[in-house]
Structure 1
Amino acid sequence: MKQSILTKKSRKVVRGLIYAALFIGAIQFWFDRDPLNDYVGYGFLLMFWFIRMVHSGMRNLNDGYSNRAMLDFGLAIMSGLAVLAVWTTYFIGF
């Protein structure tokens, strides 16, 4: 019992650290001097939303809210495609 509580707590802490790192990274890249780094900032923010929507969809699916889960997964797919578009634009240079 105690092992599962520690595991859930550690997952929550790690997830929070990942969210914070992506969000702080996005803000840092937005407000630097190089305007080309804005794409990286947008990519970080979109990755933040992608991970958040996938986690929310999994939680709603486990709780039995299938309509909310479908909405979350749809938003995750859209943000994943946006991440792909931003990184492709950044690396290839369209």
Structure 2
Amino acid sequence: MKENSWSKKSRKIVRGLIYAALFIGAVQFLFDPDPFNDYIGWGFLLMFWLIRMVHSAVRNLNDGHRNLAMLDVGMAIMSGLAVAAVWITYFIGL
């Protein structure tokens, strides 16, 4: 049988690269001299948190920890709403 799926190691590497890119982008935008880029930095940091919570929820659900998975889903929803608020504030300027 032909294996088209990604191995666990490659998925872990890609996930780590995404986490690193979001975190480094957040730090770079938060600590630059332009204060208007802080919204972008907070958006990147919240996206990092959102992706991390969704991954944690899926992992906990697969491990059979339903209560922890629901906690992670709730935190992911709150993080998603915060991301939406930050980006709407940045683009519309409310």
Provide TM-score, normalisation by structure 2.
0.94
Measure the CA separation in 2 of the matches of 1:15 and 1:32: 26
Give the total of aligned pairs: 91
Q: Which amino acid aligns with 1:65?
A: H
Identity %: 76
Structure 2: runs of 5+ lacking an equivalent: none
Name the counterpart of 1:11: 11
Q: Which runs of 5+ in 1 are unaligned?
A: none
Shift of 1:33: 1.2
The structure with the greater share of residues assigned to helix is 1
2:33 is aligned with 1:33: yes
Distance 2:17 2:49 in 1: 14
1:9-59 CA-partner distances (Å, limit 9, x unpaired): 000000000000000000000111110000000000000000000000000
SS at match of 1:19: helix
Q: TM-score, normalised by structure 1?
A: 0.94
